Structure 1
């Protein structure tokens, strides 16, 4: 044995001499990469992200301004523009932005003291005025950052900046040029704070570089050690290391894939236009992100009394409706895990005979519960493997919650933009869009379409006699009748003042005239009380126009209905007139052929 040991190959001094310098050089290179690479990479990522968001906000600002790009040519904004612009900083990560005319003068800013100041920086004329965006990110002392940002920050954050006035903040400034007919008419300057976001990304990237550096160094050391071994020990160590590397690579690839899928999920969800579209995206992505889990998602109804089943994936199923008390996660206000404790209870919305482990994640947005994410382990999936996916599932729930809140907020804003605030009916803008769409469909399918133009008789006299509050009550009562009698695709709109219009698809002249007469009678039977007294009888005059006889374009059809309305008012009011009919009794004759009994909707109104 001693002879065998003595016969071992002598150490290779040349290899040993090269090994340590090589390891030292690699260590230095990795340390330098940890120190110098993360910040430029993150800055490039943030620059691209700020460019993209600035372009999105430029489009949103131009869409919101009443005159669009012409606002910059005139360098003036309306009161409505100012109200909308003042809300931008509260709805986004932008803490300051300015509207700049072509010559560099700031004509609106979140900082009032900037208004009227001329931007004389060289980059403005050289880059922005030439139609190119300009981006700059630099570190600034907290004391130099706009007070507006400190006021808009949370109290804890503001206290932090006050206590650390010597700290630097990473501020991104980007100027987006505004073009009109190929000519630069102005620019929008956005300012956002990247301090925390940059620090988070740099820290994460540094950790990744450190981890990779440590792993690489360990691999070099182990490899050098393995090379110096012989026989089966060398082969066994190499095989073990190869297996570890395979597992580590598989884990890294799995993590990278999950990060990529989460990023794609967030990007797609933020671009969804409706909840139906959003839940389709959720179903497709979740089947890839969590392949070992069956899942379903629920969202609160508008009345918040039940949760509506919206999507399922990987063989899961969802109920049409569940109540909050059916889920232990919603009742307890936190994530509920079934199947991990010695004693636990299944949720009512889950199958009682199914003892597979499951998660119930309350979906929270802005401190409010908006839905529920339910996950259940597939058959033969171990409990440990299923529980290991909890953190990833929680991140998915957070992404889904923010997307649901954003879509619901967009839906609410859109609904407000097409509704009359007094009566709750649709406004003129919505009627015009709907009428154009319905006319195209009626023309394409050769189907009739009728429109009723309605005016409350002597409404001005009514306002002068009983006051505007009573007049508002009358308008709401009349609007309630219109809303109740509309069915299916029928649309009731308030055009302004005491004028209304009803859009009745698939109704020809006889049926439309009968509906108009029934509607007139239903309004006449309204009894409105104001204070301790009943208001005088309410009557309406109605003009009826039909596609295609009275017009094929929206303005033609609306004018025909208005002309018929004026005809009805000229005949003494409280009556129905049909467009193009010279016989003043035409509508009355049509009404006589109608059933004398009111419809169920009219009975409900009466």
Structure 2
């Protein structure tokens, strides 16, 4: 009987050991699979970003090439040279990564088209230098470069779409892994309970160990799930202005019991501006400045996370209270984590927690800051590409393509609501003479000054664009012909009143001619309206310039 009990205990001990071994392996395997999935997700995201940066560099190079061909100004070649260097670097990065399946052939096709496009740009630049604008213009007009660029956009777009699909599949795989881990955790808890019931003290000790491991695994899995949801939400944003509605939802779950703020560098990089807050109700008395001087944050100065605990800690000046309330600051823990993307600090994550609460998990905060930096840098990249595709870099006005689309939309709106609108074509008088006599820098200065007059002379609902060369255009919504003529006359007077100086030398006075056309009096379609405004503009030119003519 005793031998049989001993034998049963031995079998039970072996069963306990087997169960313990299995339970010990589950968190490791699930964590390893989750880590592998996240690593693959990061690799796919990086490769997708590299393709987008490759396309952006090609666009920059082509913009520089076209600017040099049109103006002959070597300054445009800086963007061209920088674009070529970036293209080469991004192609090397893509070739160094995995290129199995269809991607290898697609990448080689992209590389071949890129080489041909770069050669075409180099040839047209050489023609412009050697034989002038007409020869380069004829080379550009054969549309070989355009066809190559269209093919590159399509190919890179296909690769980006394929990588985006791969990212979606990896996210689904992450969610599936998390679901499996939850089921495994439930099963492990049930088995552990049975073992505890049978093995008493030994099984109880193992149950406690397994329960702790399961709890840690659940927290880790939940954090991975929330992180994946946050990245997905960030991928859907179009501008940083939407961050205050998104970040508090996820940061309160990733850093429970804490309060804090996210700051982003302004475009001037002189200050960091408050972008989002979370958990203020849980951190009574916390203060967060609207702007932070980078020199006032020890985390930014040290280049890494900085944790302040107690009154004797090295505390950052930002976020402190003034007056008697400052005594409460000593009872707060504050962690400052720089947000770094591609080697550049783009912002700061500030986490605060009252004394006595659970300590701030610094490794979690650092991981959150890394994920935020990745998501926000992608938003910035998309915003920059969107702006480059619709705004003229020299004047800050919208470009012709954006203007043409806006006119079409306004025609549809006017037909639906019966609201009038007007087009105004603007051409700077004797602009070529200014370029020839005072150089292209003076011409650029004149264009920028005229553009400011246009922007200052219209409403926020109106639209100003650089239509081409020294020609500009206005779209005035909810505006009839008479009101548009008055607006054009005011802008004409503002341009005529300009006093321009270049290197302490006064430039000749600047004037402009205007042509006004209104819907539906002068045309029912965008083409008819533009032709009517052009005819009115030519009439202003023929009548002596520096005047406004209604079609």
- 1:329 and 2:299 are equivalent in the alignment: yes
2:359 matches 1:386: yes
State how far apart, in whole Å, the 2-side matches of 1:34 and 1:294 are: 30
In 1, the alpha carbon distance for the partners of 2:420 and 2:526 equals 14
The higher-RCO structure (CA 8 Å, 6+ apart) is 2
Q: 8 Å contact 2:423–2:474 — kept in the other structure?
A: yes
Q: Please say if 1:457 is aligned against 2:415.
A: no
Separation in structure 2 between the aligned mates of residue 351 and residue 292 of structure 1, nearest angstrom: 21
What corresponds to 1:282 in structure 2? Answer: 247
Check conservation: 1:492, 1:501, Cα contact below 8 A.
Answer: yes
How far has the Cα of 1:510 moved from its partner?
2.3
Could you tell me which residue of structure 2 aligns to residue 364 of structure 1? Answer: 340
Say which of 220, 228, 233 aligns to 1:255.
Answer: 220
1:559 maps to which residue? Answer: 531
Q: Give 1:512-523 correspondences, 5 Å limit.
A: 512-523=484-495
Is the partner of 1:475 in helix, strand or coil? helix
Distance 1:326 1:40 in 2: 41
Q: Give the direction of change, closer, same or farther, for the CA distance of 1:371–1:350 in structure 2 (3 Å limit).
A: farther
Shift of 1:453: 0.1
Is 1:482–2:454 an aligned residue pair? Answer: yes
Matching of residues 120-135 of structure 1 within 5 Å? none
CA RMSD of aligned residues (A): 5.3
SS in structure 2 opposite 1:12?
A: helix
What SS does the aligned partner of 1:396 have? helix
Alignment partner of 1:357: what SS?
Answer: strand
Q: Secondary structure at the match of 2:346?
A: strand
What's the counterpart of residue 402 of structure 1?
374
C-alpha deviation, 1:65, in angstroms: 9.7
- Measured at CA, do residues 97 and 503 of structure 1 come closer, stay the same or move farther in structure 2, by a change above 3 Å? farther
Question: Map of 1:44-55 to 2, 5 A cutoff?
Answer: none
Query: What's the CA shift string for 1:342-376, capped at 9, x where partnerless?
Result: 45546342435233322222323333332222222
Match of 1:312 among 257, 277, 299: 277
Q: Quickly say closer, same or farther: Cα 1:337–1:424, change in 2 above 3 A.
A: same
State the TM-score, normalizing by the size of structure 2. 0.66
Q: 1:15 aligns with which of 8, 23, 30?
A: 8
Partner of 2:384: 412
In the TM superposition, what whole-angstrom CA distance separates every residue of 1:62-91 from its partner, at most 9, and x where no partner exists? Answer: 99999xxxxxxxxxxxx99x9696564478
Indicate the structure with greater strand content: 1
TM-score by length of 1: 0.61
Per-residue deviation, residues 84-118 of structure 1 (Å, max 9, x unmatched): 965644786964879999x9996553799999xxx
More helix by share: 2
The residue that corresponds to 2:134 in the other structure is: none
Matched, 1:246 2:220: no
SS at match of 1:488: coil
* Kept in 1: contact 2:51–2:90 (CA 8 A): no
SS at match of 1:411: helix
The answer for the alignment partner of 2:262 in structure 1 is: 297
| Cα distance per residue 1:319-353 (max 9 Å; x no partner) | 43343355443455443333346455463424352
What is the deviation of 1:578?
0.8
Which residue does the alignment assign to 2:321?
Answer: 351
Structure 2 partner of 1:574: 546
Instruction: Tell me the equivalent position of 1:339.
Output: 309
| Number of residue-to-residue matches in the alignment | 460
Alpha-carbon distance in structure 2 between the residues aligned to 1:569 and 1:87: 49
Contact preservation (8 Å) 2:442, 2:502: yes
CA contact (8 A) 1:453 1:502 kept: yes
Structure 1 residues 472 and 365, CA gap change in structure 2 (3 angstroms) = same
Query: Residues 324 and 255 of structure 1: is their aligned pair in 2 closer, same or farther, counting only changes over 3 Å?
Result: same
Q: Tell me, what secondary structure is at the counterpart of 2:337?
A: strand
Cα deviation for residue 49 of structure 1 reads 8.8
SS at match of 1:556: helix
1: CA distance, partners of 2:50 / 2:514: 45
1:269 has 2:234 as partner: yes
Distance 1:472 1:407 in 2: 31
Q: What CA deviation, in whole Å up to 9, does each residue of 1:470-516 have, x standing for no partner?
A: 44443333334334434423332111122111223333322221221
CA distance in 2, matches of 1:349, 1:51: 38
Which runs of 5 or more structure 2 residues have no equivalent in the other structure?
60-79, 118-150, 164-176, 282-286
Q: Does the C-alpha gap of structure 1 residues 448 and 98 become closer, same or farther in structure 2, counting only changes over 3 Å?
A: farther
Alignment of 1:94-243 (within 5 A): 95=97, 107-109=109-111, 223=195, 227=198, 234=200, 238-243=203-208
Q: Which residue pairs with 2:398 in the alignment?
A: 426
Q: Given that residues 300 and 307 in structure 1 are in contact (C-alpha distance below 8 angstroms), is that contact kept between their aligned partners in structure 2?
A: yes
CA distance, structure 2, for counterparts of residue 273 and residue 29 of structure 1: 46
The Cα shift of 1:572 comes to 2.7
Deviation at 1:456, TM superposition (A): 1.8
Offset, 1:50: 8.1
CA change 1:43–1:517 in 2 (3 A) is closer
Cα shift at 1:43: 8.5
Classify 1:366/1:296 alpha carbon distance in 2 versus 1 (closer, same or farther; 3 Å): same
> In the alignment, what sits opposite 1:71?
none
Flag the 1:99–1:241 CA change in 2: closer, same or farther, 3 A. Answer: closer
| Aligned mates of 1:329, 1:242 — CA distance in 2 | 41
Q: Is the 8 A contact 1:100 1:188 kept in 2?
A: no
After superposition, the Cα gap between the structure-2 partners of 1:328 and 1:553, relative to the gap in structure 1 and judged at 3 Å, is farther
Query: Equivalent residue of 2:492, what SS?
Result: helix
Query: 1:530-545, aligned counterparts within 5 Å?
Result: 534-545=506-517
Q: 1:530-558 deviations in whole A, cap 9, x for unaligned?
A: 56754443321101122343345433332
8 Å CA contact 1:326, 1:348 repeated in 2: yes
